[in-house]
Chain A
Amino acid sequence: MDQRLRHLAEQLDTGLIARREFLRRAAVVTGGTAAGLAALRTMASGQPKTKLRVWLFKSFVTNANDVLGRQIEAWAKERNVEVEIDWATFGDREPKFVAAIEAGNPPDLAEMHIMGPTRYKAVLRDVSALAGDIARGKGGLLPFAETAMKIDGKFLAVARYSMTTVFFIRRDVMETKGLKPPKVYDPDVVEFARKTQDPSKDLFGFGQTLNRSDDGDGFMENILWDYGGGSWDKDGKPALGTAFRAQNLKALQFAVDTIQKHKIQPPGVMGWTDVSNNEAYMAGKLVTTNNGASLYYAMVTKKHELAPKTQLVLTPGGPGGSFVGSSCYNWAIFAKSKHADLCEDMIRWVEDEKRFGEYLQVSVGQAGPVYKGRVDNPYWKSDPNFEAIVQNIVRSVNYGHPGPLTSAAVEVRAQHILTDMAGRVVVGGLSAEAALKEAHARVEEIHKMRRT
């Protein structure tokens, strides 16, 4: 009885139920007995404030982080709870999650990126009701977001926003040469790069690393899809070196050719980490590059001189179509949490359109829509460059495409299988066929291990 009374008191405390409702339910629970009333009385006096542990993603958009932090604090005040917020960024997240989960000490609520729900599905709460409710109020989820959030038929997270990559072009250079934005990689991007670059002045046409990095992995995934290939078939079975072998070979060859044959890339590109192309572009050394909208954010907020000279366009495609992957940031509640109701309430609070709008306004295009209803938000018309961001998001696909998003697919991405494959050709001197075969074996192995 104690437990139920405590739960009720918490709900009253936080305003989730009205006082009358509380009294009614409490009476039912205590059975109107003297002992029950006594218990109620002692609890009424000594109820400590509920404490919620929330882990947020520290984005590079500091203003947006501030807005979110403030919104959560406001919610906490409304509901009379204490909130302990921890911020973790890209690299630090995983060790923290793994250690906390293994120690049995996860937070109540966490903001995760797209791999989160799949990775931690064993310890997350089923939030299908909440997710469905929220999605209904916003016109439904975009297809790629729905795939990412729904694991084994249930929603393990509530989608919030998405981040994508776009194709950056130096508009001034393009216009000087009288060119138009390229639509496909081969031959458009190659031609474009060749005509606009000037290596003697340290200006290169295309800056796309194939090194182990988010940039590299994202590009390799996209290019395989662009050639009609991919790592997985539509049933989620490995297809890298089997069903899609011919297409993948062409794609891999193209990727390698950009460095070795077409010579449109700067030297040293294989050693780039995620920050390198940002730095190179901002230093005026690249005409085009693929990157997340973070680069645009960095330039705009720092009033970089290249910001007004930059044009964002849809990621180019290939003979098999034009594809791009995006990440869907989301809210996940841990099954161990004793305050799931509160967590759900907080999610509703911050996802409220007005509040999300506030967040969106300061995000400089980073908080892409995941709900169909948010696609038409006028914010996206405030900068012509945002159009590419939105369009890329709307047509996004997930890891595993054309198959489902499986833990094996997540792991193949996390283990840099594709960039390792490219690296083996460019740096390791392997032939494309050999590298593809080697990578396929790794994909098979992961698939086998993850099936259990």
Chain B
Amino acid sequence: MRVRVLAHAQGAAAYAILTALLLVVAFPFYWMFVSSLKSEEQMRSLTAMFWPSPAVLDNYRQLLGKTDFGAWYGNSIVVAVGSTLVATAIGTLGAYALARLKFAGRAFMASATLITYLVPPSILFIPLYAQIRTLGLADSLTGLVAAYPSFTVPFVTWLLMGYFESIPVELEEAAMIDGATRFGAFRRVILPLAAPGVLAAALFAFTQAWNEFLYALVFITNVKLRTLPVGLSTFITGDVYGWGFLMAGAVLTTLPVIAAYTYLQKYMVEGLTAGSVKG
């Protein structure tokens, strides 16, 4: 009896915590969404705080019609998808090698993957831009696709290292006994098993790339090649903020990523599961 009461109490507590977290998480987005539907006067006047009256689509209409928002969107997609593919490929290969294969220098490289995070991008971008330029990639989306993996690959690698380590060695050994090469075992046996982990890593890399601001600001000068975060920031000019544009743009920028995550998040959890346990 007491156990049942306790269980109920725990259940109630869980729901309470969940509700609190959801409120905290959702409210700013709700606010952003509601603000995007208000006209400027409404936003300034503190009337109709929690639901616009009337709701207007002006902000969206102007955003899509009068600005290069569409172009920014396309650019962001290109850069995010491109750099994600690159980072995931590089990270997967590297993680497998560091987790499974035995060669000199492996332990050092494994630790070194995380050390790259110590370097703050807010400083690194100056010499990095010079590098990108030397490679002839300045002012191009390719430059960003090349540069973004520099901060996504370490986490992808670390994550997948743990994941690969959790896959039993016996599976590869069995494959190799059957005549497969090491590489063949990797391709046909391990990789399919690692799919959730790879997906989780890819989602992470995509998010980082989608939201990145500083490199995109500095490496790109052609206004047609701007990405979303930089484009949105142009609505802030000194002390005049285009709140309507900003909120509408923010909603549209965040929605696809939210959709992707909501749909794919169970893979993310699965992907992190095996990966994290062994660290």
Q: How many A-B residue pairs have CB under 8 A?
A: 88
CB distance from A5 to the nearest CB of B (A): 27
CB distance from A184 to the nearest CB of B (A): 26
B238/A89 in contact, CB under 8 A = yes
Given contacts A105-B133, A214-B239, contact A53 B221 (CB under 8 A): yes
Complex Cα distance, B41 from A279, in Å, reads 11
Q: Determine the residue in chain B with the shortest Cβ distance to A98.
A: B126
Complex Cα distance, B239 from A105, in Å, reads 30
Given contacts A99-B129, A103-B133, A103-B138, contact A89 B239 (CB under 8 A): no
In the complex, what residues of B have CB within 8 A of residue A292's CB?
238-239
A103/B130 in contact, CB under 8 A = yes
Complex Cα distance, B234 from A432, in Å, reads 39
B237/A105 in contact, CB under 8 A = no
B238/A85 in contact, CB under 8 A = no
Q: Is B262 an interface residue (CB 8 A)?
A: no
CB distance from B40 to the nearest CB of A (A): 6
Stretch at the interface among A37-45, A55-63, A251-259, A398-406: A55-63
Complex Cα distance, B11 from A87, in Å, reads 55
B223/A278 in contact, CB under 8 A = no
Complex Cα distance, B77 from A59, in Å, reads 28
* CB under 8 Å from chain A, chain B span 115-140: 125-127, 129-130, 132-133, 138
Given contacts A86-B221, A103-B138, A298-B240, contact A279 B214 (CB under 8 A): no
Q: Is B2 an interface residue (CB 8 A)?
A: no
In the complex, what residues of A have CB within 8 A of residue B236's CB?
89, 91
Complex Cα distance, B123 from A98, in Å, reads 12
Interface size on A, residues (CB 8 A): 41
Complex Cα distance, B117 from A151, in Å, reads 42
Q: Which of B217, B223, B238 has the most CB of A within 10 A?
A: B238
CB distance from B1 to the nearest CB of A (A): 55
B222/A278 in contact, CB under 8 A = no
In the complex, what residues of A have CB within 8 A of residue B46's CB?
283
B133/A92 in contact, CB under 8 A = no
Interface mask (B232-258 → A, CB under 8 Å = 1, otherwise 0): 011011111100000000000000000
In the complex, what residues of B have CB within 8 A of residue A277's CB?
239
* CB under 8 Å from chain B, chain A span 182-207: none
Chain A interface residues (CB < 8 Å from chain B) = 53, 55, 58-60, 84-87, 89-92, 95-96, 98-100, 102-105, 107, 214-215, 273-275, 277-279, 282-283, 291-292, 294-295, 297-298, 302, 304
The 15 listed contacts between A and B (C-beta, < 8 Å) are A60-B238, A60-B240, A85-B223, A89-B236, A95-B125, A95-B214, A105-B138, A107-B221, A215-B239, A273-B239, A274-B238, A275-B239, A292-B238, A294-B238, A302-B41
